[in-house]
Structure formats: structure tokens, C-alpha cells
Chains A and B, each alone.
Chain A
Amino acid sequence: MPVIHITNRAGAESTLEAESGISIMENLRDNDYEIDAICGGSCACATCHVYVDEAWAARLPAQDDDEKGLVEDEPTYKPNSRLSCQIEMTDALDGLKLTIAPEA
């Protein structure tokens, strides 16, 4: 199983054994990592916002306009912001590091 290294809102770090083939959002949500993911992954809410480690940013699938439009305007936006529902977990992402963004 690939793993994701996660820093939660309180700053605590943990490692999650992730499931490939579903989104990173679903991995986080199903394991109770604080994200609301209100729209269930429809790219409509930005409540699945995470910051990905710089070293990983380039290795992730590119952001489409939809995701960009939504996340860029979040008050908590950073250049390494991503909506985790828009990234599918794969074995190639084994070791990915991310931080859950604060509540907007």
C-alpha cells in the first residue's frame, strides 16, 4: 500500500496507508482527517484543500481550470494548494507529503 504523510491542522504528523484508485480526498475523509469535502468531490466547494510538499507538486497531475478557479481565490491559498478531490491516489504517489489547509 502506498503511504501519505499528513500534517493535520494542529500540526501533528502521521502516516496513512492509502488506497490507490480513489481520490486523496476520499483517503483523507474516510480516515477522519478533518476535511469536510462537502461537495463530495464535485470540485464545487474547496473544503478538501491541502498543501502539497513542494518536492511533490510537479509529480502530481496538473490542475485543470475548474480546480484553479476555485482554489486560487481561497483566502488560505498558497502556490502549492490543491483540492485533494481532484487528485487520484496511485502507487506512484507513495510517500506523498501534504498538509491539511486551515479552515477558510
Chain B
Amino acid sequence: MSEHIVIVGAGHAGGTLATQLARAGDRFRITLIGAENWPPYERPPLSKQLLMGEVPTEKVFLRPESFYADKGVDLRLGTEVTSIDRAGKTVTLAGGESLAYDRLALCTGTAIREIPVAGRDLPGVHYIRTIDDTLAIREKAGSGARVVIAGGGYIGLEAAAALRKLGCDVTVIEMMDRVMARAVAEPVSRFYEAAHRAEGVHILLETGVAEIGGNGRAEYVADSHGHVHPADIVLVGIGVVPVVALAADAGLAVDDGIVVDARARTSDPDIFAAGDCTRHPNALLGQTVRLESVQNAVDQARCISNELTDKGADYAEVPWFWSDQYDLKMQMAGLPAPDDQVVVRGGPDSRSFSVFYLRDGKVSGVNAINVGADYVRGRKWIGEGRTVDAARLADTEIPIKEV
């Protein structure tokens, strides 16, 4: 008899896992349960192409909606899993139905971090996590609409770029003294700050949001310096938190993420977890991490499907990520630490340059802006633990392949 695999969370990791397991044919019976009403989809376009209206909604689906039924996957949308009974090996759904599993995979992702200020519940305060969020913003984002974005991380900045393109008047409020401060080194932050300013985005650094206010709906944002910014749309992008309640309530180990081992197993041998919701060891990095990226969602889903199909291998992948803003395509790999040496290769003026991060001479990270070759090299070097000479790396006369 087929083994029944129940996957909780029909996002990037859950959708990928179902797709991969379905390739094993009759070996598994697969139930994929998602709280959203959409079939599994890609979130990156939510702050990029979908927000700009460049692509129809179906274009962001991981697979056509009919795919799951065709492959025998029981896709249950608009359905929340409310609890796990580990002893009985069942999950309970919001309607009260209970479902038995042989193995369970938790792919519950993250939830938006709410902004802790007065007025946060007013209509007109938006986040970007789901298709519905993006469609709601786009509906109001006509030319001349005033948008105040709280948070100058990559999602806030991507949204700023997309909304500028739609003709909105955009203000970004960032607490730190530079944008994307958590993700990239200062030269990259400064470059993006200048690029956004040149496009007409107002960027306020070292500024917090004090209050969101308005008459029955969000009409302004008051910042921590006492300035008031009128707004038609308030968009909050201040990060996310892993969705771990189901796991925690079931007594699984949780530590800012569901704790899994190198094979994506939780502390219960019949329960796996993948994606944004996990804290996992990465042999290549020599540490445990919680990542928020499509790469990790896909690779960890694959790690589970390999484990379940007797091809198990320990997780050891170079993390990578990308961000599109205007005509700037940034590709990033590795997990640099704040005190790593920073080497700039090429001139930011050309809108095509890269920043490498070195730890004890070894490449620990790369941010490549409009220069794919540097990204590909950097990612390879990180995987190899290669030592490079900082001076040669900074010298663009030396082709990247010969550094």
C-alpha cells in the first residue's frame, strides 16, 4: 500500500515536495494542504513583475492548477491544519476533519512581522506576502498615488521600484543608516540608495515609524522625527517570522524555526520540515541557519524527497538569492558575516559591479549587480572554500576566471 505523505503548507517548499514525490508514482499517496486559496506559487514576483502588472496571476503558479490532480496529488486549498497528534499520527483541519499520515512534512513558511505602532490595523495598511496582498496594492497604485513604505529591505525596495514604474510617489522609511543593511555591505547599500534617489524615491534613513493615522483608513505616516507623510497606500516590509506554532504545540523542537537535522527530519522521525520555517544545519557553512529563500525551499524539499525515496544525502548547499530593482539585477550567494573583508570589483558608476566577502582569505559571499559571471564564479568559490587574493579580485583588468 502507498505510504501517505501529508504536506502542511502549499507554498514553494510544499509545492516542490509534492511535485517531486509524485514522480515516484504509486509509492506515495500525497495530500498537500494549504491555507491560501491559490495553488503553490512563486513569491518573488509579488514585489516585482506581478506588482508592476507585467504578468498575469497564473504566471506565478509553480505548476498549472490542474497539474496536481493530474499527478494524483490531493491538493486541499483554503484549508488550515490546526493541530498534530503525533501519537495517533493524525492532523486536524480547521473544519474538524482529521487526517491520518504515515509521514508528515511541515512547510509552513513565514508570516509577516506586524508593525508595532498605533494605526497598524487601519484599512490601507498593506504587507506583501501573498498574491492577494499584491493585487490589493496594485488596485490602488495608480499614477500619482502616494505610497509610504516602512522598511528599506529588499522587499521594500523592490516594491518601491515597481511602484515608481507605475507612477506612484514613493517614500521609504528605514530605521538603519543604510538600506538592505542586514543583507549587503555598505557599498552595495549606498549604490542602491543612490539608484532609488535618482529614480525619484524619497529615502529617509535613521528614521522610524511613530504612528499610522487617518480617518477610518490609513491616510498618513508620522515618522520618528515628527514629520508627517500623507499616504494613499502604506506598505510595511519589516521582515517575517517563521510559522512554528503547529510544531511547537506538538512538542517538536523549535528555536527561531522548526529544528531539523541535515536530512530535514524534525525531532520526530516521521515528521520532516522544509523551507523558511526551518532551522537547519548546513555542512558547507559549518553552522545552523534559518534562510528565507526560494533556493533553500527547493533544495530542502528535494532533501526530503530524496530521503523518502532512499537517495538521502546531507544538506550542504551554497545559499543564493536574487533581487530585481529597475534595470538592476543583483545575484547573491553565500552567507557573509558583518566583519568579513569586503572587496569591490568594478565601478558602481557603470551600474555593473560586484562585491566579494572574504573570511580568512576564503570567499564567503558575493553580491553581483548586472554581472552574472562574477556571481557564478563567486558561488562556485564559496562551495569550494577557495582562497582568493583580494588585490587580484579588485583588479578588473584580470578576468574573473583568472583571479
Interface of A with B (CB < 8 Å)?
29-30, 32, 36, 38-40, 42-46, 65-66, 69-70, 72-74
Interface secondary structure of A, over-half rule:
loop
- Complex contact B372–A40 (CB within 8 A): no
Asked if B67 contacts A40 (CB within 8 A), the reply is no
What residues of chain B have their CB less than 8 Å away from a CB belonging to chain A?
19, 22-23, 42, 44-45, 60, 63-64, 67, 71, 294-295, 298, 320, 322, 324, 329, 331, 371-373, 375-377, 380, 401
Whether A70 touches B19, Cβ cut-off 8 Å, given contacts A29-B63, A40-B42, A42-B324, is: no
Q: Hey, which chain B residues are within 8 Å of A42, CB to CB? A: 44, 322, 324, 329
Give A29 to B372 CA distance when docked, in angstroms: 23
Q: A40 contacts which chain B residues (CB < 8 A)? A: 42, 44-45, 60, 294
Task: Report how many A-B pairs have Cβ atoms within 8 Å.
Answer: 53
Cβ-closest chain A residue relative to B321: A44
CB pair B329 A44 closer than 8 Å: yes
Task: Contacts A44-B322, A44-B329, A44-B331 given; indicate if A39 touches B376 (C-beta within 8 A).
Answer: no
- In contact, A32 and B322 (Cβ under 8 angstroms): no
Chain B residues near A43 (CB, 8 Å)? Answer: 329, 372
Contact: B45 with A32, CB < 8 Å? Answer: no
Q: Give the distance in Å from the alpha carbon of A69 to the alpha carbon of B371 in the complex.
A: 7
Give A12 to B63 CA distance when docked, in angstroms: 22
9 contacts between A and B (CB under 8 A): A29-B63, A30-B64, A32-B23, A38-B295, A42-B329, A43-B329, A45-B320, A70-B375, A73-B373
Q: A44-B322, A44-B331, A69-B371 are in contact. Are A38 and B294 (CB under 8 A)?
A: yes
Specify which chain A residues have a CB less than 8 angstroms from the CB of B19 in the assembled complex: 32
Nearest CB on A from B344, distance (A): 19
A66 to B45, CA, bound (A): 19
A69 to B63, CA, bound (A): 28
In the bound complex, residues from chain B placing their C-beta under 8 Å from that of A74 are: 376
Of A44, A72, A73, most B-chain CB atoms within 10 Å:
A44
Instruction: Evaluate contact between B295 and A69: CB separation under 8 angstroms.
Output: no
**Complex CA–CA separation, A32 to B22 (angstroms):** 10
State how many angstroms separate the Cβ of B289 from the closest Cβ of chain A: 18
B376 touches A66 (CB 8 A): no
Residues of A within 8 A of B331 (CB): 44
Q: Is the CB of A36 within 8 A of B298?
A: yes
Q: In the bound complex, how far is the Cα of B13 from the Cα of A38, in angstroms?
A: 11
